[in-house]
Amino acid sequence: MQDDKLKKVVALCKRRGFVYPGSDLYGGFANTYSYGPMGVELKRNIKNLFWSLFVDQRDDMVGLDGPILLHPKTWEASGHVAGFNDALIDCKSCKARLRVDHLLEACLHMETEGLSLEELGSLAERKEVVCPKCGKHDWTQPRHFNLMFSTHISKTSQGQDDAVYLRPETAQAIFLDFKNVIDTMRVQVPFGIAQIGKAFRNEITPGNFLFRQIEFEQMEIEYFIHPSTWETNFESWMNEMKRFCHLIGLSEAGLSFFEHPQEKLSHYSKRTVDVMYQFPFGRSELFGLAYRTDFDLKQHEKHSGQKLSYLDPKTNERFVPHVLEPTFGVDRALLAMLCEAYDEETLENGEIRTVLRFNPLMAPIKVAVFPLMKKEQLTDIAQHLYKNLRRRFKTDYDESGAIGKRYRRHDEIGTPLCITVDYQTLEDQTVTVRHRDSMQQSRVHLDELSRYIDQHLHSEL
Ligand code: GAP
């Protein structure tokens, strides 16, 4: 049933212009996607909310837009060159390359986190570990593969040593500019730097749509603090992350929080909590909050030879700030929103209505304007109204087909309000406003419309 839901969401995404398979024209390119006209609006709404909440509405936050290609030493300092690996195994029979942890979890129903390559290899020798593609049991030894994509700068020679990496997280760009921000802006610890941008990971994935891609977008914050305050700051960022989940329309029932056990924490972290969401394919990580200590700044001090300490003007104490890192995946947020919003409702006439019940403020289109019929006296008013409204709200205009069909199309993309200009409009300057969720209609005067829409968009927060 749940798997079925994912298939329906994927089909709707293509049918209604949210998400297309990457390089569709050439038969697709695994684990990449294009966001279509509706998807791009939804994505912008997610990013705008993040920026508004965490940068614009706070005194202690600034933004940054760092490069995708950073100095190669960055990734040595951060630990990604040595440790950002997946253990992969090859089927000798059909040549499929798989993540050994996923394979063992599927065949032996066991957790494998923290096991060495040798331990994983001996588990893979069990007869029940068979290839999901060809059904054979004929494996190579597992090997570690680094998840970073590498490329070369053309003006240097083409040797291994000249490799540059596409960033696998946006976070490091923030650490690299910590000193520039301190030196040029009037910031005082505690303060944070936020960034939104692409990250790249050469991942082998079991194909859960947008969940795990090789190119995706992150919204990350590095929040610089005095170490004595990490616990209260951790709690307050966790609350902010919950608020963000609520505002993008995720219900509490679908959310849970996974505390990473001490022995399994990443090398840089003293505490990590994953925000988990109940996706149709299972409960999985949506966002994360990590206390990264002073690991990154100290590592960059060591590798760059530059001081990254901070002098507190009030206490005169000089220290390397510690860091809390709230991290959000744009694509996972969008997938969770689609899964949460997707609904099928059986109407009185037996017809099934598919509707995306987005939080109205997140919907790609806020208002649709329809003339009841394609008659000039109606289309003139409808066009005029559309041009007025689109200055304030993302608005669509549609005059083709039966009105019922136009409603269904907008239900499927989650438009909260549809406005129809009809013959009564000519008499009393009122229009029909039809609500997506209840399908109820009311008549509103043209002079009142903007205020009415505004109220409705904000009422469900
Ligand atoms: N800077 C910390 C960091 O990158 P992460 O848990 O590896 O931590 C952060 O990634 C977030 O990025 C995840 O919580 C998830 O939302 C998103 N993310 C990670 N890998 C992804 C992938 N392959 N495809 C889509 N989103 C991904």
Over the stretch 196-233, which tens digit does the pLDDT of each residue have? 999 999 988 767 999 999 999 999 999 999 999 999 99
Global pTM reads 0.94
State the CB neighbour count (10 A cutoff) for residue 402. 8
DSSP secondary structure letters along 149-162? -EEE-TTS--SGGG
Q: In this structure, are strands 61-64 and 33-35 parallel, antiparallel, or unpaired?
A: unpaired
Which of 357, 359, 421, 412 has the alpha carbon at shortest distance from 389? 421
Ligand 1 site-directed mutation target among 74, 147, 216, 218, most atoms within 8 Å of CB: 218
203 Cα nearest atom in ligand 1: 23
DSSP string, 81-119: HHH-EEEEEEBTTT--EEEHHHHHHHHH----TT--HHH
Could you tell me if the CB of 301 is within 6 A of ligand 1? no
The verdict on the CB of residue 201 being under 6 Å from ligand 1 is yes
Please report the DSSP string for 232-297 in residue order: HHHHHHHHHHHHHHHHTT--GGGEEEEEPPGGG--TT-SEEEEEEEEETTEEEEEEEEEEEETHHH
Ligand 1 atom nearest to 213, measured from its CA: 24
Could you tell which of 99, 204, 327 is best to mutate to test the pocket of ligand 1, judged by most ligand atoms within 8 Å of the CB?
A: 327
Residue nearest to atom 20 of ligand 1 (CA): 212
Structure tokens at 262: 């001490």
**Are the C-beta atoms of 49 and 369 separated by less than 8 Å?**
no
Q: What phi and psi values does residue 442 have, to the nearest 5 degrees?
A: -140, 160
**CA-atom Rg of the chain in angstroms:** 26
What 3-state class would DSSP assign to 333? Answer: helix
Tens of pLDDT, residue by residue, the chain (461 residues): 566 999 999 999 999 999 999 999 999 999 999 999 999 999 999 999 999 999 999 999 999 999 999 999 999 999 999 989 999 999 999 999 999 998 998 999 988 887 889 999 999 999 999 999 999 999 999 999 999 999 988 765 555 567 899 999 999 999 999 999 999 999 999 999 999 999 999 988 767 999 999 999 999 999 999 999 999 999 999 999 999 999 999 999 999 999 999 888 887 899 999 999 999 999 999 999 999 999 999 999 999 999 999 999 999 999 999 999 999 999 999 999 999 999 999 999 999 999 999 999 999 999 999 999 999 999 999 999 999 999 999 999 999 999 999 999 999 999 999 999 999 999 999 999 999 999 999 999 999 999 999 999 987 55
Protein residue with its CA nearest to atom 15 in ligand 1: 329
Which one, of 157, 172, 2, lies nearest residue 73 by Cα?
172
Nearest CA, atom 14, ligand 1? 287
d(CA 236, CA 234): 6
